Chains A and B, each alone.
Chain A
Amino acid sequence: MRIALAGNPNSGKTTLFNAITGKVEHVGNWPGVTVEKKEGDVKQNLNPRKENLVVVDLPGAYSMSPYTSEESITKDFVQNENPDVIINIVDATNLSRSLFFTTQLLELGIPVVVALNKSDLTEAKGIAINIPTLSDILKCPVIATVATKSANNGLLELMNAAIIVGKSQKKQTAPFAGGAKKASKEGFEKADKKRYAFVNDVVAEVEKRKISSEKQTLQDKVDRIIAHKWLGIPIFAAIIYLVFSISQAWVGPPLADIFVGWIDLFNETVGSLLGEDVNPVIGALLLDGIIGGVGAVIGFLPLIMVLFFCLALLEDCGYMARVAVVMDRFFKKVGLSGRSIIPMIVGTGCGIPGVMATRTIKNERQRRTMAMLTTFMPCGAKLPIIALFAGVFFGENSWVGTSMYFLGIFVIIIGALIIRQITGDFSRSYFIMELPEYRFPSIKRAAVSMLMRAKAFIIKAGTIILVSNAVVHILQTFDWQFQVVAETAPETSILASIATPLAVLFIPLGFGLWQFAAAAVTGFIAKENVVGTLAVCFGITNFIDVEELALVGSGSEVSAVFGIGAVAALAYLVFNLFTPPCFAAIGAMNSELESRKWLTGAIAFQLGMGYVLAFLVYQIGTLVSTGSLGQGFIGGLIAVAIMVGFVVYLMKKGSKNKQIFAEMQAVKL
């Protein structure tokens, strides 16, 4: 039996799905977290008779007429894929809107069970709902649920009710027949008005509110500070700084120190086990290539876990929707809207769901713009790179991570401005977003989300990263004649000879060394590879205990190992964050952009952006710190000028389109 979960955004469908199936799909306290359907089997204890029960979680929808593309996934599924039962999740604190969708679902001819979710919140709000009467009027079972609770949550009753209606031969009759197949638009509108009138009558009969919902609440007061015109941005910055401080300076590093100690111990144990008898080439492949390379990446696990824990708490409390309100007026100026912040927030965890979250954006140009730019946010895989350079060159300062986060937002804004000019599409769109209620973030949910991310990170390190490191190690051990490269001539290795031509391009950026070029390239497979490849190439296995490396301190010691200074390191960091993401994320961009032209443009734009930003950071940084320009300035300037010139040319060309667009708009009116 296939059971579909459908309901309004942020009514708790995915929370309920996770509670029923025991899965850990991403939840967040804002509308539009789920953009794809997810399937899972019902847990044993909710399915005592061991029936074949499959639950499908769907993106939230306000009605059967979809506004954004993730809503149409829901409509298409319930209409075309014939689920056996629909569980309609209704937010108990918002009957008056939710039942509109309910009445539409009841017309489909598929058995419906209503889950009156968030039932624990009604009392505090002075809402009393007469459930038996509601069930009588809707002619379907109505079960009170609290999906966030682990016991007494109504889920067993819900599943039982779903099984009963699913098996019943008797069809449910729709309480309101709107006639979904009215030909004319006016007829449709009239029918929908009647539908709402019906819903209003139902609500009047079953719901009693002691406190009217349009009265000011404490939450509204909090909003007035958090989303304040001038305070909003500093508060946002402070929160992000706090998150990075906790994960990258206060809590993360001490944990990482302990963790890396274990990795080192493991490495030493294996080393002593091998002893002196082993062939040095084979021994090095295991110790430096595989264990060392993976260890260097895995060492950042504690930092990543703490960061994800903090981000999960933020997503859970309802703050992120307010950030959208705060950022709306800045995004408006470049043709985006506050909605655009949602993909960026999701993209801070991983670029792929970030790109997919652009589905919640209505306007096509805005949606594509964000699908192109979202991956500029520092995702989890870029975090080790940030942490590495922050730790090695900047004494574990939390401003590095924070500034990369805000630089990401800034670059996205600039990018959007350029894309708007190039497309010539200056259309404006309205911004509307439901504001979820604040709630105390759940430590448990954050911990579960953190552990899931940690698991994924470890598996990735043990598979893709491990294989990449082994290949890199082999390529740098041998030359083209398959002779072992002499220690005094590492530049004769296969890896060096492949990467050197590329490295020449990086001279104006300050890191024209083949090791850095190779690391940037392996980064496209997975961004963690940047750290892994550097570890393998420089023969470093421990990036956390920087004191041990005697790297903290000024330029000379640092360059002894890496061969670059702090300014070049910052340029390299910027380069890796703002070049195209990993292949998987590029694949996600491809499917959301739905256009070869846009995808090619996106990749070219990202390559150019990474190059230009790194060039600026290195050359300006060198000028400021030493008083003279860095290496390869002229060559780099020419390259940058060509790139900027081309973009300016496209923007000029685009402004002609602007008139065409304006005329098209005029015709539409």
Chain B
Amino acid sequence: MSTVDFVVVGVIALILALAINKIVKDKKKGVKCIGCDACCDKSRKR
């Protein structure tokens, strides 16, 4: 693999990592659909 290849693989990995991170973060928050929490019960249990 050339240097360019490494850079591109790095970029792809970064993009995927960001996307998956956001998905996991939202799922942990209990958001049912990523990017939209309009339907979720947003009352904080206390």
Q: Could you tell me which A residues sit within 8 Å of B by CB distance?
A: 25-26, 36-40, 54, 56, 274-275, 277-279, 282-283, 285-286, 290, 350, 352-353, 356, 452, 455-460, 462-464, 466-467, 470, 584, 587-588
Q: Nearest Cβ distance between residue A291 and chain B, in whole angstroms? A: 9
B39 touches A352 (CB 8 A): yes
Complexed CA–CA distance, A356 and B20 (Å): 28
Pick from A38, A463, A464 the residue with the most CB of B within 10 Å: A463
A467 x B16 contact (CB < 8 A): yes
Contacts of B26 in A (CB 8 A): 463
A279-B2 contact in complex given A39-B43, A464-B23, A466-B19, C-beta closer than 8 Å? yes
Which residues does chain B contribute within 8 Å of A54, judged by CB atoms? 44
B46 to chain A, nearest CB (A): 9
Q: Are B32 and A463 touching (Cβ within 8 A)? A: no
Q: A278-B2, A278-B8 are in contact. Are A464 and B38 (CB under 8 A)?
A: no
Contact between A282 and B39, CB atoms less than 8 A apart: no
A274 & B8 in contact (Cβ 8 Å cutoff): yes
- In the complex, per-residue mask of B24-37: 1 if CB is within 8 Å of any chain A CB, else 0: 00100000111110
B42, A455: Cβ atoms closer than 8 Å: no
Complex CA gap A25/B39 in Å reads: 9
In the complex, A517→B4 CA distance in Å?
A: 35
Known: A279-B2, A460-B33, A460-B35. A467 touches B19 (CB 8 A): yes
Interface size class of B (residues with CB under 8 A): 20 to 34
Given contacts A38-B42, A39-B43, A286-B8, whether A277 and B2 have CB atoms under 8 Å apart is yes
A-B CB contact pairs (8 Å), 26 listed: A25-B38, A26-B38, A36-B39, A36-B41, A38-B42, A39-B43, A40-B42, A277-B4, A278-B5, A279-B2, A282-B5, A282-B8, A285-B12, A290-B12, A356-B39, A455-B35, A456-B35, A459-B34, A460-B35, A462-B19, A463-B22, A463-B26, A464-B23, A464-B34, A466-B19, A588-B32
| A386 → chain B closest CB, angstroms | 20
Are A279 and B5 in touch, CB under 8 angstroms? Answer: yes
C-alpha spacing A464/B2, complex, angstroms = 30
Instruction: Assess whether A587 is in contact with B32, with CB atoms less than 8 Å apart.
Output: yes
A583 to chain B, nearest CB (A): 9
A463/B19 in contact, CB under 8 A: yes
With most chain A CB atoms within 10 A of its CB, the pick from B11, B22, B42 is B42
The answer to whether A282 and B38 touch across the interface, beta carbons within 8 angstroms, is no
Q: How far is the CA of A241 from the CA of B35 in the complex (A)?
A: 29
Q: How far is the CA of A314 from the CA of B16 in the complex (A)?
A: 39
A460 touches B36 (CB 8 A): yes
What's the minimum C-beta distance from B6 to chain A, rounded to whole angstroms? 9
Do B33 and A274 have beta carbons less than 8 Å apart? Answer: no
Residues of A within 8 A of B23 (CB): 463-464, 467
CA A407 – CA B2 in complex, angstroms?
A: 54
Across the interface, do B8 and A470 meet the contact criterion of CB distance under 8 Å?
no
The answer on a CB contact under 8 Å between B22 and A38 is no
Chain A residue nearest to B22 (CB atoms) is A463
